[in-house]
């Protein structure tokens, strides 16, 4: 359902409103979305909402109920880039048909997002920070304020392990790229299907390990401290 819902929704948002003629070159959405930063982000947020809605997963119901309105006000956030973004082209190559729409939108506006890191070199080392970062769209830190949920994207470079960690908030990941291994508590490592939710209950330890390709994953947090620094180990 995700591939159909996303493709139909995004094509409505980014199609060229003018009839195409022999003198009018076909416009791709990569150029069509370059309007203003807020319009770009609004299109991305709407696309993510449509994808979540099309999953018909009961665990997403509360997030959808708390989703900001289409006319929600924006606030200024400081834009920032990170070394992990150098792997974006490689990440695009590993998207699936049903996640490619959102991945391409993320890639097109990556340099106009506010990227951050929760940890320091003392926490996890300089090597990890070279291949790790996130950008929040909705929440206490994102450009669209929300006190009840957080939504953003996590990016991990290739060949890196995000160590075992836990936090108060409930979390749902939706992997968009890569062939990442996921693990909860002491379970075996497992590959997870792109575009399908991965649920982490509050305080449940979990970790991820990328291979040849980077990971881009949507994240959702609720029912806890939305800005908490996760506890490692």
Report the Cα 57 to chain-centroid distance in Å.
Answer: 18
Neighbouring C-alpha atoms within 13 Å toward the C-beta of 205: 9
- In the prediction, which pLDDT does 12 show? 38
Measured CA to CA, the distance from residue 193 to residue 217 in angstroms comes to 12
Average pLDDT over residues 180-196: 96
Please tell me the pTM assigned to this model.
0.85
Give every CB contact of residue 130 below 8 A, 6+ residues apart in sequence. Answer: 83, 84, 157
Comparing CA positions, the residue from 112, 120, 52 lying closest to residue 88 is: 112
Model pLDDT, residue 180: 97
Q: What is the CATH code for 2-232?
A: 2.60.120.10
For residue 36, the model assigns a pLDDT of 55
pLDDT at residue 70, rounded to an integer:
87
pLDDT, tens digit, 9 for 90 and up, residues 62-117: 999 999 998 899 999 999 999 999 999 999 999 999 999 999 999 999 999 999 99
What does the pLDDT read at residue 29?
26
Query: Beta partners for 133?
Result: 155
3-state secondary structure of 150: strand
Q: Is the pLDDT of residue 156 over 90?
A: yes
The answer, yes or no, to whether residue 16 has pLDDT greater than 50, is: no
Reduce the DSSP state of residue 199 to 3 states and report it.
strand
């Amino acid at each position: 359902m995700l591939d159909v819902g996303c493709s139909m929704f995004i094509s409505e948002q980014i199609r060229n409103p003018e009839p195409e003629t022999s003198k009018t070159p076909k416009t791709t959405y990569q150029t069509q979305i370059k309007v203003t930063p807020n319009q770009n982000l609004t299109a991305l947020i709407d696309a993510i909402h449509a994808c979540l809605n099309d999953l018909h997963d009961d665990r997403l119901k509360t997030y959808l109920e708390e989703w900001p309105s289409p006319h929600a006000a924006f606030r200024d956030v400081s834009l920032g880039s990170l070394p992990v973004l150098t792997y974006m082209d490689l990440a695009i190559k590993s998207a699936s048909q049903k996640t490619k729409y959102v991945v391409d939108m993320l890639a097109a506006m990556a340099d106009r997002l506010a990227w951050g890191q929760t940890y320091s070199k003392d926490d996890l080392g300089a090597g990890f920070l070279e291949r790790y970062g996130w950008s929040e769209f909705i929440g206490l830190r994102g450009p669209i304020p929300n006190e009840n949920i957080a939504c953003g994207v996590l990016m991990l470079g290739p060949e890196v392990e995000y160590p075992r960690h836990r936090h108060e908030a409930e979390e749902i990941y939706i992997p968009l790229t890569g062939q990442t291994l996921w693990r909860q508590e002491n379970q075996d490592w497992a590959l997870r299907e792109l575009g399908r939710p991965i649920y982490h209950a509050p305080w449940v330890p979990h970790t991820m390990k990328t291979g040849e390709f980077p990971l881009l994953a949507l994240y959702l947090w609720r029912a806890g401290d939305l800005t908490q620094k996760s506890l490692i180990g």
